[in-house]
Amino acid sequence: MRGLTAICVSLLLLLLALKCFAQGQILKGVVVDGETNLPLEGVTVQVKGTSLNATTKKDGSFSFSLTPQQADGTLNVSYVGYQPQSARIGSRTSITIQLEPLKQELQSVTINGYQRPKRKEEVVGAISSVTAKELQVDRAIESFDKMLEGLVAGVQVETNTEPGGTPKINIRGQNALTEVFGSNRQGLTTSSQPLFIIDGVPIQEMRKGDEPIAFGAEEFQNPLNGVNPDDIESISVLKDAAAASVYGANANNGVVIITTKKGKSGKAKFGVSFNSGISNPINRLKWLNGPQYHELAKELYLNEGINPVTAEALAGSREISTNWFGITNRTGRYQNYDMELSGGGENSTYRVSASFLNQEAIQAGNDFQKGYFRIRLDNQLSKKVSLSTSLAPTFTRKNALNIYSELTPIVPNIPVYNADTTYYTITGVPNPIAVLNQNTNYSEGGTINGNVHLDVQVLNNLRLVGNLGTDILTNKQSLYESALNETGRTQGGFAQIIDRTSLAWIGFANAIWNPRIGDDHKFDILAGAEIQSQSTKLLRGFGTGFTYYRLNELSNAARQGSASSRQQTNATSLYLQAAYNLKDRYNLNISGRQDASSIFGTDVNTTLNGAVGAGWTISKEPWFGKVKWIGLLRLRASYGTTGNSRIGSYEARGLYNIGSSGYNGQASSDPVSLPNPNLGWEKGYKTNVGVDFNFLKRFRLTFDVYSNITDDAISSVSIPYELGFADMLANTSKMQNSGWDASLNAQILKGKVVWNATLNAGYNQNKVLEVKNGGQRDGTSDLAVALRPGASTGAIWGFQWAGVDPQTGVEQFYNKEGKIIRADDRTPGLFSMANASVIGNRLPELQGGFIQDVTYKGLTLIVTITYVWGSERFINYRNEWNGNNLDNRNQSVNMLDRWQKPGDITHIPMLNRQARSGIRFVPNSSRFVYDETHIKLANLGLSYVLPAAWARAIKASRMSVFANGSNLFYWYRQEVPEGRNGIKEYRFSFPEAQSFTGGLKINW
């Protein structure tokens, strides 16, 4: 894989001298690696059409004595792992041949857990790999997890449009339950994010744990922002038990392994890259303008029986029309600078890289800066001992006022400023421009990822590996809500600092034994022990009552408060991975891992996971040899278990909280939960059957069918009140994700124009099979989530909409029996969650990507198309709330279609407010469920290697320019009437951006 950092293949034949001899000629030559310029030993050099051949020596040299006829011929050079090459001899006496590493061969090497990288023919598990090139790091995307969208079969990346935000990643569907009561009680289900491991060190996740309620307002950063996409050499996604089980207790959501680049021996290579661009909002929500808003507001008051004069006055100005969203939008900017220095001698290599990223979002008040540094040293200390060290500090700053998503969209028929240039204010509704200029909300922090890796070849077939790594994360969120606007007025200004420091370390030691018995039996046995610890410290300070608006440090606050919290979890693990290879055709893999974690009670704190997998390379069977059109045919099957211990809380242990209030001046303590000594680990049972099929020399197909069952999923259950509590955490549910994923790669054109195309697809169905112990739960109607058997955990629970009654303008719905029920029917419980049914599913049926990669000479074009099929989105109903919030908030233009008079056939009911009209508003209505099915032209990337002469002019070896366009085009299945909002506008609350970037890359 290490040859793939350069995007284009550049073959240079250097003609060092020209000389003709009439008779006999000595040709001396040297063969070197085209990328590292290091000599290659053992290369076969043959004069075409003759029996004359030679093998290169240690210094890569070879020589021939040629007849004139032969000298007119061609040299054929071939070497395992490199592209064969031929070169005209002409009259030359010396020649340097640079061999280009063979990409195909390298691509098929797979990182597989703790074991050495393996060739595809040896891999038994379902593993997808992404190379740096495929990742397309030149895109205007700030973190690699967002870049993965559409690139890996079976991996769904639900992107987050906010810069630095955390996308949701589902590997083969969502394997943890959806929290029924919303994300602020996140700590009560296990994490649904995969386990990310960078060079052997797991990345810590920022999520709610056991901390006191005082930390509820903390905004989380994406921890993967700490990984510079430019440093990534490859990414492996472990999807089934055979691959992931060796990561045991945390592998149920799949494992993503990131390998970083390292230096290569040879002279120092220096590269810089500069990338800059702009972005503009797309698919913006269309809001009512001033006159439209006035009309609707007035109509609402008239409907409520208010007299026309008062209604006109209450509705505000008829003329003023402020386009708040236009004012707060801007053209986003993007800049990225990269620097890389690498090289080394025979026994040591180094690589140093640094990057700086600056992103100004399309929404004013939101920007993101990131600085990365990474140093990696690889030393061969002796013939048998090698040491690899890396250190990667990063720094992040993020401004996130989020005035779209966090503030109430203010009404349009008011001005920004009063006549005296102060900000126009409505009580309780912040003026966004005032917020933009008076408030601050930024996060500053960083990560340090460090690793020391020692590798000792004790015997010929026995290696010992020791590794010590750390992952440190700090983040400080500083918020100031000024007393000058509505966000902080009542408190006289509010300032808050939340400081998070997480320290994780991991140590592991592996013994790897590779015995062989004859040529037919090869073993690869790995046994290891791992110990890890993670601690998080939180500190919060806050203050209110700032006497002078410009001084907003906490020390200036009249009233101050603080809180702190500490959490620590420790874990130890033992694991074994044994691979047996029979005749290079049959592979058997057995792996097991025992984890013990301090998070669960002492009785159940140990869990054992294991997997067995087998592979059969049919195409290597002797009897198969004759089928020419099949390059590789291989079957794989695996079964095993994984776990998920990332519950983030000690709640199961029956904890007492020391209260600050107490009684009568004495401190009190309160039991916060009932201890459940039986609470155990969630268990995943994964079955996978796959086939690898390379055919017609151009096509490579990988197809896997799977069934993943998550059993004993943790959720909160109702318990008899007599136990002293209303609920507790228990292992309640059994859930299945089943489906298939496939990746088809085709080399459509070879030769001058190289055209590669890859189609990825993942089909998944989620179903909650069983909910035990009375764990069945309904969330609130707002969230439309329920934990009930028989449906997907992503199901949207609500009521099928039956349109607006043309006579009365009242909404109607179908109940479970298919009978029409009306919103003005006051029967208790009619619209309770207990009567709701499934009206959509947030999880897609099919999703994936289609990537085309065309190269012609120095020009490369990569087109990335992503698609999602069969998922629904439950949108924010507050933008179309039938008038309930019309008095203080702007609405979607869709509200223009409201029912006005008997006979109107429309899909928006009569404007009314529930409190006055008695007409119920049903938030979990299928009216708010939109089909998310879409195809997106996610990226178009073009790069061009500039003529060598240009590069030479600045003494560089290579110069290239590149350009990218992101989010270029969308097709949504659900159509939207002209001038109205639909799925594409409602999908993201932080507006989506379309970006265009261009850049230059120079290597010396």
Partner 1 sequence: MSIVKNIYLIVFMLAGLMLAGCKKFLEQEPYNRLSVNDIFRDLEGARTTLVGCYDNFKDANYHQRMFSLYPELTGGNIKYARSNDPYLFNAYYFANTTLASQNDMTSFYQLGYNTIYRANNVLQYIDQVTDATTLQRNRLLAEAYSFRALAHFDLVRVFALPYNYTADASHEGIVIRTANTNPEVPVEAPASVRAVYQQIGKDLDSAIVLYTNSTNIYAGGDAKSWLNIDAARGFRMRVALYMEDWTKAIEMASLVIGTNSYSLVSNSSYASSWRRSTSPNMDQEALFYLFALTDINQGSYGDNFNAINNSIFGYMAASNDLLNLYAPNDVRGKATMYRDTTMSNVRYSFTRKYLGRNDSANNQKLIRISEVWLSRAEAYAEGNNLAAALSDLNRIRQRAIAGLPAMNTTDRQAILDSIYVERRRELCFEEHGLWDITRKKKSLVRTDCTGATCSIGYPSTLFACTKPTQR
Phi first, then psi: give them for residue 728, nearest 5 degrees.
-155, 165
Establish if 726 lies at the interface with partner 1 (CB under 8 A): yes
Amino acid at 842: R
Distances (CA, A) of 58 to 38, 43, 53: 11, 10, 17
Give 210 or 340: the residue with its C-beta nearer to partner 1: 210
Cα–Cα dist 102/972, whole Å: 40
Give 210 or 240: the residue with its C-beta nearer to partner 1: 210
Q: In the complex, what is the shortest distance from the CB of residue 501 to partner 1, in angstroms, rounded to a whole number?
A: 14
Q: In the complex, what is the shortest distance from the CB of residue 664 to partner 1, in angstroms, rounded to a whole number?
A: 4
Site string for partner 1, 582-621 (x = CB under 8 A): --------------xxxx--x--x----------------
Give 385 or 705: the residue with its C-beta nearer to partner 1: 385
Q: Which of 346, 519, 722, 975 binds partner 1 (CB under 8 A)?
A: 722
Stretch that binds partner 1, among 173-181, 288-296, 529-537, 582-590 (CB under 8 A): 529-537
Q: In the complex, what is the shortest distance from the CB of residue 350 to partner 1, in angstroms, rounded to a whole number?
A: 19
The residues, ordered by sequence, that sit 6+ positions from 552 with a Cβ below 8 Å of its Cβ are: 440, 480, 482, 493, 495, 546
Tokens of 22: 């009439």
Task: Decide the pairing of beta strands 699-718 and 682-695.
Answer: antiparallel
Give 61 or 535: the residue with its C-beta nearer to partner 1: 535
Stretch that binds partner 1, among 52-60, 122-130, 471-479, 527-535 (CB under 8 A): 527-535
Query: What kind and span of H or E run contains 107?
Result: helix 103-107
Cα–Cα dist 281/966, whole Å: 12
Q: Which of 622, 636, 517 is nearest to 580 (CA)?
A: 517
For residue 178, give the DSSP letter.
P
Rounded (5°) CA angle 991-489-878: 35
Q: Which of 53, 323, 422, 570 binds partner 1 (CB under 8 A)?
A: 570
Give 505 or 586: the residue with its C-beta nearer to partner 1: 505
Tokens of 226: 């700490």
Phi first, then psi: give them for residue 192, nearest 5 degrees.
-105, 5
Cα–Cα dist 822/917, whole Å: 14
The residues, ordered by sequence, that sit 6+ positions from 490 with a Cβ below 8 Å of its Cβ are: none
Give 623 or 721: the residue with its C-beta nearer to partner 1: 721
Q: Which of 52, 385, 846, 1000 binds partner 1 (CB under 8 A)?
A: 385
Decide: 167 and 436 in contact? Cβ < 8 Å.
no
Cα–Cα dist 323/301, whole Å: 24
Cα–Cα dist 932/894, whole Å: 18
Q: In the complex, what is the shortest distance from the CB of residue 597 to partner 1, in angstroms, rounded to a whole number?
A: 7
For residue 135, give the DSSP letter.
H
Q: Which of 35, 210, 367, 985 binds partner 1 (CB under 8 A)?
A: 210
How many chain residues touch partner 1 (CB under 8 A)?
Answer: 69
Give 94 or 564: the residue with its C-beta nearer to partner 1: 564
Give 396 or 532: the residue with its C-beta nearer to partner 1: 532
Q: Kindly identify the residues of this chain, within the stretch 322-381, that bind partner 1 according to CB under 8 A.
A: 381
Stretch that binds partner 1, among 401-409, 712-720, 904-912, 944-952 (CB under 8 A): 712-720
Give 210 or 367: the residue with its C-beta nearer to partner 1: 210
For residue 826, give the DSSP letter.
-
Q: In the complex, what is the shortest distance from the CB of residue 170 to partner 1, in angstroms, rounded to a whole number?
A: 30
Cα–Cα dist 399/387, whole Å: 40
Stretch that binds partner 1, among 41-49, 713-721, 866-874, 982-990 (CB under 8 A): 713-721
- Residue 658: other Cβ atoms inside 10 A: 9
Q: Which of 550, 434, 592 is nearest to 114 (CA)?
A: 592
Give 507 or 982: the residue with its C-beta nearer to partner 1: 507
Tokens of 749: 């054109």
- Residue 272: other Cβ atoms inside 10 A: 16
Q: Which of 518, 622, 665, 751 binds partner 1 (CB under 8 A)?
A: 665
Q: In the complex, what is the shortest distance from the CB of residue 389 to partner 1, in angstroms, rounded to a whole number?
A: 12
Q: Which of 568, 780, 807, 974 binds partner 1 (CB under 8 A)?
A: 568
Establish if 676 lies at the interface with partner 1 (CB under 8 A): yes
Helix ranges, 417-570 (H): 432-438
Phi first, then psi: give them for residue 521, nearest 5 degrees.
-115, 115
Q: Which of 656, 950, 969, 971 binds partner 1 (CB under 8 A)?
A: 656
Cα–Cα dist 361/432, whole Å: 16
Cα–Cα dist 433/435, whole Å: 5
Q: Kindly identify the residues of this chain, within the stretch 749-808, that bind partner 1 according to CB under 8 A.
A: 774
Q: In the complex, what is the shortest distance from the CB of residue 375 to partner 1, in angstroms, rounded to a whole number?
A: 20
Q: In the complex, what is the shortest distance from the CB of residue 261 to partner 1, in angstroms, rounded to a whole number?
A: 25
Establish if 527 lies at the interface with partner 1 (CB under 8 A): no
Q: In the complex, what is the shortest distance from the CB of residue 881 to partner 1, in angstroms, rounded to a whole number?
A: 23
Give 565 or 885: the residue with its C-beta nearer to partner 1: 565
Site string for partner 1, 103-142 (x = CB under 8 A): ----------------------------------------
Site string for partner 1, 17-56 (x = CB under 8 A): ----------------------------------------
Stretch that binds partner 1, among 207-215, 424-432, 846-854, 986-994 (CB under 8 A): 207-215
Q: In the complex, what is the shortest distance from the CB of residue 722 to partner 1, in angstroms, rounded to a whole number?
A: 4
Establish if 539 lies at the interface with partner 1 (CB under 8 A): no
Q: In the complex, what is the shortest distance from the CB of residue 652 to partner 1, in angstroms, rounded to a whole number?
A: 10
Beta-bridged to residue 580, according to DSSP, are: 523, 588
Decide: 900 and 908 in contact? Cβ < 8 Å.
no
Tokens of 716: 């909160």
Site string for partner 1, 434-473 (x = CB under 8 A): --------------------x-x-------x-x-x-----
Stretch that binds partner 1, among 32-40, 316-324, 669-677, 756-764 (CB under 8 A): 669-677
Beta-bridged to residue 703, according to DSSP, are: 691, 742
Beta-bridged to residue 691, according to DSSP, are: 635, 703
Q: In the complex, what is the shortest distance from the CB of residue 670 to partner 1, in angstroms, rounded to a whole number?
A: 5
Cα–Cα dist 975/844, whole Å: 19
Establish if 571 lies at the interface with partner 1 (CB under 8 A): yes
Q: Kindly identify the residues of this chain, within the stretch 480-519, that bind partner 1 according to CB under 8 A.
A: 507-509
Decide: 374 and 352 in contact? Cβ < 8 Å.
yes
Q: In the complex, what is the shortest distance from the CB of residue 716 to partner 1, in angstroms, rounded to a whole number?
A: 12
Establish if 382 lies at the interface with partner 1 (CB under 8 A): yes
Which regions of 89-189 does DSSP assign to beta strands (E)?
A: 94-99, 109-110, 118-119, 127-131, 155-158, 168-171
Give 674 or 859: the residue with its C-beta nearer to partner 1: 674
Distances (CA, A) of 953 to 275, 340, 947: 22, 21, 10
Rg over CA atoms, the chain = 32
Q: Kindly identify the residues of this chain, within the stretch 730-749, that bind partner 1 according to CB under 8 A.
A: 730
CA atoms within 13 A on the CB side of 558: 10
Cα–Cα dist 835/429, whole Å: 35
Q: In the complex, what is the shortest distance from the CB of residue 537 to partner 1, in angstroms, rounded to a whole number?
A: 9
Cα–Cα dist 819/802, whole Å: 10
Tokens of 790: 């028989």
Query: Which residues here bind partner 1, judged by CB under 8 A?
Result: 210-212, 381-382, 385, 454, 456, 464, 466, 468, 507-509, 529, 531, 533, 565-572, 574, 596-599, 602, 605, 650, 653-659, 661-672, 674-678, 718-726, 728, 730, 774
